């Protein structure tokens, strides 16, 4: 015990902690110690165009799973209703994600830094693990890598190189490369992939329908035997698909040259293109019985195109999962740089996909279930962040300037725990879980966001007005930004 204590007291981080405590915010300069500004704000010279932000978001969306999700809507609605439900749900996502993306654009900080204010420093660490560290960086990276292996094995069933196990391993390693390179690598891959991916998916969609003998006019007459009259479940489903993605928009939007770059890019990509992909998946299911447009593309003789769609689509999404996960872990455990975390998380995820799922043929359902459970906590975190930034800071604390509401830099003081934030998060999770899995009441995701939003505002405003401390403990930001 004594050895452990001595080792800590002599460690670099403790010395930084002591130095940081005496360093004023005006003297300190944020430095990019960990890479990709994991613990620092993005400087103006590193910002990118709105088109770049748009391409990165589109790259995240360009994934087979988004098309598959449309098949769930095909069970409930006919084509016109599918379009309406997807559009309404995606407009809700556009608003939610747009609001949060703006916070990243105004402050130039990533999600895990932003959460220091509404949840406290320790609360932000826990949230970082929930939102990205474990969920995106390990679980969804593993699941998406495995799905990649499954897709290629279906396309090329007799080729060992495209078997689930082998394809998962080389696919996982491929996806790690751009995550390792960082935002620059992700941007390049997104620019390269996005235009041709979306054009090819649309071409493939019409080609598959044509092959099945269905004309574009007939699309609007397609539907299941029994059509649901209520649009609510479909909208709930659509919002639930990408609610988690809304919360981590600042990871990318902080690079926008304008404050609103991320908001506009997010809103357009989700309202227009996510609706398109859901529609494609749904109509493919109604018309051909399978939403797998990529396999359909392969079967009608577009083999190389299908392979490129599968590889590049999964790659552009999964590298973002891993990259966000690495940013989150840097904000929790400061001993490794971002790139090291990419290697650690990437190797773990690839082993889960290739060995557990591929070689051993074990089900990834436990990982998916755990990921979905963690996912219950993500929307309330978004609700708390919106409440804190857009209501509490400007209207209760009087900080009207959007760029001044959250400040970062060595010497900055944060609470260890923001009590209303943690209570609101727990309440949001309970309501979200209950109204999704126990007794379905409205949209579980929306319920959890609203619950967290309202409880946070009521608690923190009341405590502030009564002069009660709502932050417990203190954390001083170190010179490393941690």
335 alpha carbon, distance to own chain's centre: 24
Write down the residue that tokens 């357009």 correspond to. 268
Per CB under 8 A, 411 contacts other proteins? no
Q: CA-CA distance, 469 to 140, in Å (whole number)? A: 38
Among 211, 390, 433, 434, binds other proteins (CB under 8 A): 211
Q: What are phi and psi of 186, to 5 degrees?
A: -65, -40
Instruction: Give min distance, CB of 366 to other proteins, in A.
Output: 37
Cα–Cα–Cα angle for 333, 475, 104, rounded to 5 degrees: 70
Strands 417-418 and 471-472: antiparallel
Write down the residue that tokens 């799922």 correspond to. 357
CA dihedral 308, 190, 148, 338 (to 10 degrees): 140
Instruction: Give min distance, CB of 174 to other proteins, in A.
Output: 16
Per CB under 8 A, 300 contacts other proteins? yes
**Selected range binding other proteins among 78-86, 104-112, 207-215, 365-373, rule: CB under 8 A:** 207-215
137 alpha carbon, distance to own chain's centre: 10
Per CB under 8 A, 268 contacts other proteins? no
Per CB under 8 A, 301 contacts other proteins? yes
- Size of interface with other proteins, in residues (CB under 8 A): 30
Per CB under 8 A, 178 contacts other proteins? no
Q: CA-CA distance, 90 to 88, in Å (whole number)? A: 5
Q: Which is nearer to other proteins, 210 or 230 (CB)?
A: 210
Q: CA-CA distance, 253 to 273, in Å (whole number)? A: 18
**Selected range binding other proteins among 145-153, 192-200, 218-226, 238-246, rule: CB under 8 A:** 192-200
CA dihedral 358, 362, 363, 369 (to 10 degrees): -110
Per CB under 8 A, 25 contacts other proteins? no
Burial class of residue 365 (count of CB atoms within 10 Å of its CB; 0-12, 13-18, 19+)? exposed
Q: CA-CA distance, 422 to 386, in Å (whole number)? A: 15
Per CB under 8 A, 295 contacts other proteins? no
Instruction: Give min distance, CB of 305 to other proteins, in A.
Output: 4
- In sign, the C-alpha dihedral spanning 67, 68, 70, 74 is positive
Instruction: Give min distance, CB of 1 to other proteins, in A.
Output: 49
Among 21, 154, 173, 192, binds other proteins (CB under 8 A): 192
Among 139, 243, 280, 302, binds other proteins (CB under 8 A): 302
Per CB under 8 A, 177 contacts other proteins? no
Per CB under 8 A, 188 contacts other proteins? yes
Which residues in 47-66 contact other proteins (CB under 8 A)? 48-49, 51-52, 55
Instruction: Give min distance, CB of 212 to other proteins, in A.
Output: 13
Q: Which is nearer to other proteins, 157 or 216 (CB)?
A: 216
Instruction: Give min distance, CB of 67 to other proteins, in A.
Output: 18
SS3 state at 418? strand
Q: CA-CA distance, 166 to 350, in Å (whole number)? A: 10
Among 130, 194, 241, 311, binds other proteins (CB under 8 A): 194
Which residues would be at the binding site for other proteins (CB under 8 A)?
Answer: 48-49, 51-52, 55, 184, 186-188, 190-196, 199-200, 203, 206-207, 210-211, 300-305, 308
């Amino acid at each position: 015990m004594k050895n452990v204590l001595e080792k800590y007291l002599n460690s670099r981080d403790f010395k930084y902690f002591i130095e940081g405590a005496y360093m004023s915010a005006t003297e300190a300069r944020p430095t990019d110690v960990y890479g990709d500004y994991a613990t620092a704000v993005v400087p103006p010279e590193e910002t990118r165009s709105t088109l770049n932000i748009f391409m990165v978001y589109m790259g995240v969306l360009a994934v087979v799973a988004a098309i598959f999700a449309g098949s769930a809507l095909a069970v409930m609605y006919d084509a016109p209703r599918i379009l309406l439900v997807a559009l309404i749900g995606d407009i809700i996502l556009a608003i939610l994600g747009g609001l949060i993306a703006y916070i990243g654009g105004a402050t130039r900080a990533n999600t895990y830094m932003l959460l220091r204010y509404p949840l406290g420093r320790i609360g932000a660490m826990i949230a970082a693990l929930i939102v990205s560290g474990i969920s995106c960086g390990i679980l969804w990276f593993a699941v998406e890598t495995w799905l990649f292996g499954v897709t290629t094995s279906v396309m090329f069933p007799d080729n060992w190189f495209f078997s689930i196990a082998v394809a998962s391993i080389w696919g996982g390693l491929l996806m790690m490369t751009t995550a390792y390179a960082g935002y620059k690598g992700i941007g390049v891959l997104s620019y390269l992939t996005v235009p041709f991916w979306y054009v090819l998916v649309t071409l493939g969609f019409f080609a598959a329908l044509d092959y099945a003998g269905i004309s574009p006019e007939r699309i609007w007459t397609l539907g299941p035997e029994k059509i649901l009259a209520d649009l609510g479940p479909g909208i709930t489903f659509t919002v639930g698909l990408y609610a988690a993605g809304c919360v981590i928009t600042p990871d990318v939007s902080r690079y926008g040259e304008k404050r609103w770059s991320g908001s506009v890019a997010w809103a357009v990509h989700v309202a227009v293109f996510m609706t398109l992909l859901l529609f494609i998946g749904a109509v493919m299911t109604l018309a051909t019985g399978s939403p797998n447009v990529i396999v359909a593309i392969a079967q009608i003789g577009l083999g190389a195109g299908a392979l490129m769609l599968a590889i590049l689509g999964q790659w552009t999404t999964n590298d973002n999962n891993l990259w966000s996960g690495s940013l989150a872990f840097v904000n929790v455990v400061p001993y490794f740089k971002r790139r090291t975390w990419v290697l650690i998380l990437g190797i773990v995820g690839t082993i889960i996909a290739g060995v557990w799922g591929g070689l051993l043929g074990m089900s990834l359902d436990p990982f998916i279930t755990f990921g979905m459970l963690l996912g219950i906590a993500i929307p309330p975190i978004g609700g708390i962040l919106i409440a804190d930034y857009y209501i509490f800071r400007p209207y209760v604390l009087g900080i009207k300037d959007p760029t001044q509401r959250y400040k970062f830099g060595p010497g900055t003081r944060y609470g260890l725990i923001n009590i209303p934030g943690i209570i609101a998060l727990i309440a949001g999770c309970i309501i979200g879980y209950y109204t999704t899995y126990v007794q379905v009441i409205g949209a579980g995701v929306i319920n959890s966001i609203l619950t967290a939003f309202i409880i946070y505002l009521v608690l923190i405003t009341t405590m502030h007005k009564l002069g009660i401390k709502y932050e417990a403990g203190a954390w001083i930001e170190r010179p490393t930004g941690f």
